[in-house]
Chains A and B, each alone.
Chain A
Amino acid sequence: MDSAIYRIGIYTDFLREMYIDAPEYAEIQVTSNFSFMRAASHPEELVTQAAAFGYRAIGITDRNSLSGLVRAHVEAKKVGIPLLVGSRIDLKDGASMLAYPENRLAYGRLSKLITLGRRRSPKGECELYREDVLKHATGMVLVSIPPRSYNVEFEVELAALNSAIPGFVYLAASHSLCGDDDAHLDWLSKVAARTGVPMVATNDVLMHRESRRPLLDILTCIRKNITVDTAGYWISRNGERRIKSREEMARLFVHYPGALVRTVEIAERCHFSLDELIYEYPNEVTLSGRSPQVELEQLTTVGSKKRYPNGVSEKVKNQISHELMLIGELGYAPYFLTVYDLVRFARSKGILCQGRGSAANSAVCFCLGITSVDPSQSDILFERFVSSEREEPPDIDVDFEHERREEVIQYIYEKYGRERAAMTAVVVTYKSRSAIREVGKALGLSQDVIDALLKQPLSLLRSDIDLGQLREVGLNPEDRRLHLTLRLASELLGFPRHLSQHVGGFVISRGLLSEIAPLENAAMEGRTVISWNKDDLDALGILKIDVLSLGILTCIRKAFDLLKNHYAVDFDLASIPTEDPAVYNMLCAADSIGVFQVESRAQMAFLPRMKPRSFYDLVIEVAIVRPGPIQGDMVHPYLRRRNGEEEVNFPSEELRDVLEKTLGIPLFQEQAMKIAITAAGFSPNEADALRRAMATFSHMDNIHTFRSKFISGMLANGYDLDFAESCFQQIEGFGSYGFPESHAASFALLVYVSAWLKCHYPAVFAVALLNSQPMGFYAPAQIVRDVKEHGIGVLQPDINHSDWDNILEPRGAGVVIRLGFRQIKGFREEDAIRLIAMRGNGYRDVPSVWQRSGLRPAVLRKLARADVFNSIGLGRRDAMWSVVGLGEQPPPLFTNAMMEEETNESSSIKLPAMPLGVEVAEDYDMLRLTLKCHPLELLKPQLSEIVSANRLLSIESGARHSVAGLVLCRQRPSSAKGVCFLTLEDETGIANIIVWPEKYEYFRRQILSARLMKVSGKIQSDGNVTHIIADEIEDLSVMLDELGSECQKGAESKPVYGINKGILKSSGSSNMLALRSVPSLPTRG
């Protein structure tokens, strides 16, 4: 990045000299790409170009928006040109105008004006009228944009505006080289003379250079959903709407020199800068009369007494006072109190929550109850938080139960009001796939060519297009449209498409937030969003709080509730017994289905090798099995060192402090950053910039600059090249998947708590998990199967016994799980509530269910298919027959006789019994699981030479064997270089398959489509983990279909035309693979 700026800098000086004689000019009508799809340059590019031409100032005026301004502001400070803060106001009842506030107050009014328009219209739109503008116009320079042709109404309108706010109105005049410009300018000058509104020159800029004209046309096509061939006059006539040299502007306005002078006049009038925005914390977090710092100190003291009933240790005491001092110094107390307020609200509602983030694991946060990670138990450093020199605002993310986070969000809106609280925006930008797709479409490429392009790796969009690669997929690399597509798509990368809401970022302020930046409606009902994103807020020092959701918290809270009800024990996150060896034993045995974070296949394979024995081991466990460390090849060295197979050494003494805890291997984000600082000589700010650069694709170009600086820095400090490169590689991996230690610690606590629940109360844990679906890695079928393996009985859902949720039923000394109606696909909660409420002493037959519950026959049909009528003696088919016999009319209460008759008739009909295979298929179809018997058990007789999954462990490594099973998941993680991982399930357990890339290509079809698969290959076992390296893969899904369609082999003639190849197939027995097919590695939130 530095070098690029440097180059522009030289260019700038050169041009400034060149244009020294040209008249002064400031461009005031500039549309950036934040007026989505309307302009073809980033705000930064526009600002830089204006500076290069020696403009006095540049204003960015996006349509009813201030979104791009922060970026322009940051860039303008860098290149040294004043930025005029403004917006183009499009009206429903009149000509558009540019609005430039003269000072902070006027800026607040502008922001409020846009908020007004945005809030009263749906997402992405803005509805404003002339009277709205007049109400907010004080202190605002308004530049009216005239229509292109002669228009009397406009003149009247302009005169009225001028008399309303005399001295603040200008008339924009552009020379756009359309052929009739002389006449146009002549008309405008006459209007100016008649109305007394001074005329000001603009160039109505849409791009920073003429070379962006193709992209501009493409954006228009995307916006209009047309192609360049059909766009006609939507295509730009020429490339003149760009930042022009001052000489050129002077030439265009040679007859109107005054219009040029007035641009400078406006620039001098409107000197408001975004730096004047001062953010203030909300003040209602404290009780009256107390300063936030005092309040925080008192709350901490009270909290510490609760947390440490036996007295606070000296170490913790010191830490608390150290932290409080820092907080006081930096004035962050209100921030902590705001977070505390949210946590207190959640707790009062019984919503489980936990904080994480750099500041979250401080002793203060522990005492306030924001986090449950005891600082005295773990040994976590707070450098990142403590380093005051970096002035980084504290970062606390709070996770709430995923089902109840909305309550917290609405609490915030209610407490602070819509005007003071809003969610942060996310600027959704073009990524390579979306760019290729939309540019291709606009250029009229056919769908299959676009699809073929999309299959290509990212490198297509770099400068060096690999022509051979194109030829390989059957595309003609000489094709002009193809070239244009790739070139323009790479230009389009990083362009904003629309504003979306951040997952949970909140901005809360003391004054009106709408005076800081415009607020608008989100797509989701009941949400308002501030039009700036996280980086913009950071750049202006505005704090945000992340209110996130986490499924496991829902699960844990439900488990706590069940414990209270069934076992009369009361726990919270902090009171679970710590360092329980039984829990670690369970984890070491990789018995971790459902346990937070460590349930993925990669984690399960890793657990027996890592053998966690303490809380900090879990912290490492959570951080290590992630793309960053995996790509940086940190995992194996760490394991070797941990198991004593390799000596623990440090590249240098100064790095010993950084890396000691992790045996010399950098695993956490903080460590990587710190290596950059201590070993590569980065300043803390540079290190942070590096981390940010990695996270956003738009800055990919700068990576090389950072890389060389990093590596040369480390070499200069005497490190060897290999180490330097692996460190950098790891930082690269961290970019998007980084895991700081404090996050890992918060997560590790949830790992421990969920593991503890699973270890001691498996039935409770399984029910809580099932009731919190969808979440986690496994489908209900695996959860049920796992709990059954732990010796817990599971019962079919039943019309007379089930609840909506899954429940525990006492059986003898223990409990069994009764599946709830929520497991039935397509069955709605309100129907279940009705059914349960009307149950009384129990339902006797199908008509009585119909009569009493009043559920529609279609709903009852679902119930019948789910096989819930067992307690009234009806199997699936009989229940179905009686439900279908109900007809579609509502139950006539007085015609019991007819019902009787029907019952008699039903009993006289003998339906063929449903074969077990079909029952199983129907179970999967309706419940996504079966309690009856595993399909593999039924198919076993037909499968020869198959080894059961549970026997794999006892087989020697290297032997060749075959396994068969349902395909639970297929994964091809980006970090695994094309290796595919499959998980098969048979009636005895799970088999893990590894498919090397060449085999993957060969068996691609089988891998992707098989629901039942047979795999043959070499067994590879390593301690507790066994894999099969696939040699051959066979798709046996047909056997499942046969099982489900209950035909003896060959009995049914296959349809000849291939229509209706087995009804069951089309109606969805393919749901046997309703397991998530490619779960990604867990990410933040």
Chain B
Amino acid sequence: MLSVERWHRQTKHDSKTKKSLPAPIVLTDYTNGVCFVSAANHDALACGVTPRMSLADARALEPNLKIVPADSRADTSMLEKIAKWTTRYTPWVAICGRDGLWLDISGCAHLLGGEDAMIKDLTVNLSNFGFTSRFSIADTPGAAWAMAHYGGEENLIAPGAQRLALSSLPIIALRIGDSKAAELIRLGIRSIGDLYALPRAAIAKRFGMVIGERLDQALGLMPEPISPRRPLPRYRAECSFLEPVSRKENIEACLLQLLKDICSNLECASQGVRQLILDLFLVEGATKTLHVGTVRPVREAKCIAKLFAEPLSKIDSGFGIETMILSAQVVEPLTESQINILVDERDEEIIPLASLLDRLGSRLNFEHVTRLVPRASHLPDRAMRQVSVVARNTQGSWPETQIRPLVLLDQPESVESITGVGDCQPPEVFRWRQNKYSVSATEGPERIAPEWWRRDRAWSRGPRDYWRVEDEEGRRFWLFCECRKDGQCNLSHWYLHGFFA
């Protein structure tokens, strides 16, 4: 359910409708090539669709199913967000399975007016966010889980009352796994209460210790520790000042210290940082956040400090800064490279370029600093694309077999052929932008046909024959003419598309 509602929340941003989910919706996933339902909403469940059913079966039940691919990462991060949000009730929150949360509310409930009121508050708030939820409170995690999942209307177990409360719940509520539960049911042991009467040894012999353990944990005879969520980033440094700091030099000095801390940690792990966040907590209660990024992993504290200089100078620190927290958001492996005693020219070149890009990027925003990467296409104008210099995963290499000009014009430009030799050859003399060029050598043609599955206005007139042409002064041009239907060239119209070196 969580995942469906997560999806719905996401798409709601577009449609802005705040109605409840209208139609049966399922999220689907693949295992071994079979598409199955991973989650379904109320309407879909009402149609008889259940999670783990194959999509084909679900479709047969309800042909109008809306089908959305599952996104377990989005689910997890949504659950994380909810968990984070619930820390307002208690600091001790843990994630349980794909769609559950543990909240240890020892000593917290009275702050919200008691357990009942707390549950109500939680439920109402979550439903405002668009989530269906069920809470249950008990002495032990096991009992609370059982009640939340199988407890029907009841959701509170009075202190010490779990033995009675659990006795009528199905055996599966003990979290012992489907197969063990099925086996027990087959033997007639259906509810948790049925287990009370059986000798432990006989059960342990047949099903292992886990059943007895789970039972004891639920009943409070055995502890069940729950570890809280750990949202802290791995590389993080903070410093608080006794007196608020507002002088630029002091702030920078402190930042450098934080950076050094982080960088030495990074060095131990052979990591470098690509993105950093600096949180500044101001005296008046506001917080300011600064982001910087780099084109490649770095860990030189001084270099990074330079990147912060620009944005930091724009910060109005008001009455002063109380606390600074610096955290590394994205880190990548950065192994130690050997220092070359003889200065390597290439390094000299690259490092300044990289740091130039870093500074350009942090000033202009990295989206605006771009480079070209190859894209596999026969069409020259589609064979590359622009990406941000910091973009990752730009695979592919420039093809070696394709003969492509060094400079490609954005738009092919018409050239006037002054004399032609006919027989499918490019003109001997042509005029481009008022200048005449006499051709001394030609090579070609290369016939390139449009990508038939795309609408591309530039290529709407069919295949082109490209020629490499050299004029008497050694300039090399890329000329083309368009092919007619019968495969012959349309010799009267020639275009220039680029220049070779």
Contacts and interface: CB of A to CB of B under 8 A. Distances in A.
Contacts of A177: 445-447, 465
A785 B20 CA distance: 50
A407 interface: no
B47 A217 contact: no
B98 to A, nearest CB: 10
A585 to B, nearest CB: 42
Interface stretch (B78-86, B165-173, B263-271, B327-335): B165-173
A1060 B447 CA distance: 62
Contact of A179 (B188, B194, B403): B403
B168 A1053 contact: yes
Contact of B424 (A180, A251, A884, A1061): A251
Given A1008-B60, A1057-B1, A214 B453 contact: yes
Given A885-B205, A905-B202, A1004-B63, A1058 B181 contact: no
A922 B188 CA distance: 13
Interface in A49-87: none
Contacts of B318: none
A290 B85 CA distance: 97
Contacts of B465: 177
A1009 B449 contact: no
A1004 B206 CA distance: 45
B198 A1053 contact: no
B59 A214 contact: no
Nearest to A227: B453
A235 interface: yes
A644 interface: no
A410 interface: no
B69 to A, nearest CB: 9
Interface stretch (A29-37, A137-145, A237-245, A622-630): A237-245
A1053 B463 contact: no
Interface stretch (B144-152, B223-231, B248-256, B303-311): B144-152
B70 to A, nearest CB: 13
B51 A178 contact: no
Interface in B185-239: 185-191, 194, 198-199, 201-202, 205-207
A884 B63 contact: no
Contact of B447 (A237, A1054, A1061): A237
Interface in A644-692: none
B48 A1066 contact: no
A339 B443 CA distance: 67
B466 interface: yes
A887 B50 CA distance: 34
B33 to A, nearest CB: 12
Interface in A200-228: 210, 213-214, 217, 228
Interface in B354-406: 375-378, 399, 401, 403
B474 interface: no
A884 B377 contact: no
Interface stretch (A632-640, A700-708, A824-832, A908-916): A908-916
A1009 B52 contact: no
A444 to B, nearest CB: 9
A251 B51 CA distance: 65
B150 A1055 contact: yes
B172 A235 contact: no
Contact of B453 (A443, A913, A1057): A443
B62 interface: yes
Contact of B187 (A240, A877, A1052): A877
A240 B466 CA distance: 14
Interface string A237-268: 11110001000100100000000000000000
A880 B187 contact: yes
Contacts of A305: none
A17 interface: no
Interface size range on B against A: 35 or more
Contact of B188 (A248, A480, A914): A914
A795 B207 CA distance: 33
B448 A238 contact: yes
A1053 B205 contact: no
Contacts of A239: 449, 463
Contacts of B194: 912
A164 B465 CA distance: 42
A1056 interface: yes
B160 interface: no
Nearest to A1009: B61
Nearest to B378: A237
B451 interface: yes
A851 B246 CA distance: 84
Contacts of A1057: 1, 99, 134, 149
Given A179-B403, A179-B445, A1053-B152, A1058 B45 contact: yes
Interface string A790-831: 000000000000000000000000000000000000000000
A3 interface: no
A1005 B62 contact: yes
B50 A1061 contact: yes
A251 B201 CA distance: 93
B1 A480 contact: no
A480 B455 contact: yes
B182 A1063 contact: yes
A240 B185 CA distance: 70
A462 interface: no
A484 interface: yes
Among B399, B452, B466, residue most surrounded by chain A Cβ atoms (within 10 Å): B452
Given A232-B376, A484-B453, A1060-B178, A884 B187 contact: yes
A231 B448 CA distance: 16
Nearest to B169: A1053
A238 B445 CA distance: 12
A388 B69 CA distance: 64
B35 interface: yes
A448 interface: yes
Interface in B389-434: 399, 401, 403, 423-424
Contacts of B1: 1057-1058
Contacts of A210: 487
Nearest to B375: A232
B452 A1005 contact: no
Contacts of A213: 449, 452
A885 B202 contact: yes
B183 interface: yes
A674 B439 CA distance: 75
Residue of B152, B172, B186 ringed by the most chain A CB atoms within 10 A: B186
B161 interface: no
Given A1053-B152, A1055-B149, A179 B172 contact: no
Interface string B137-165: 00000000000111110000000000000
A1039 interface: no
Contacts of B35: 447
Contacts of A1046: 190
26 contacts: A177-B445, A179-B443, A213-B449, A228-B451, A233-B376, A236-B449, A237-B378, A239-B463, A443-B453, A480-B453, A480-B455, A877-B186, A909-B198, A911-B187, A911-B188, A912-B194, A922-B186, A1052-B190, A1053-B151, A1053-B170, A1055-B172, A1057-B149, A1059-B149, A1063-B178, A1063-B181, A1066-B52
Interface of B: 1, 35, 40, 45, 47-48, 50-52, 59-63, 67, 99, 134, 148-152, 168-170, 172, 178, 181-183, 185-191, 194, 198-199, 201-202, 205-207, 375-378, 399, 401, 403, 423-424, 443-449, 451-453, 455, 463, 465-466, 468, 487
The 10 closest A-B pairs by CB, nearest first: A232-B376, A179-B446, A177-B447, A912-B188, A1053-B152, A238-B449, A238-B447, A884-B206, A1063-B182, A1008-B60
Given A148-B401, A183-B443, 19 more contacts: A179-B468, A214-B453, A232-B375, A235-B377, A448-B67, A480-B455, A877-B186, A877-B187, A884-B206, A887-B205, A909-B198, A909-B202, A912-B188, A922-B186, A1005-B47, A1008-B60, A1053-B169, A1059-B149, A1060-B178
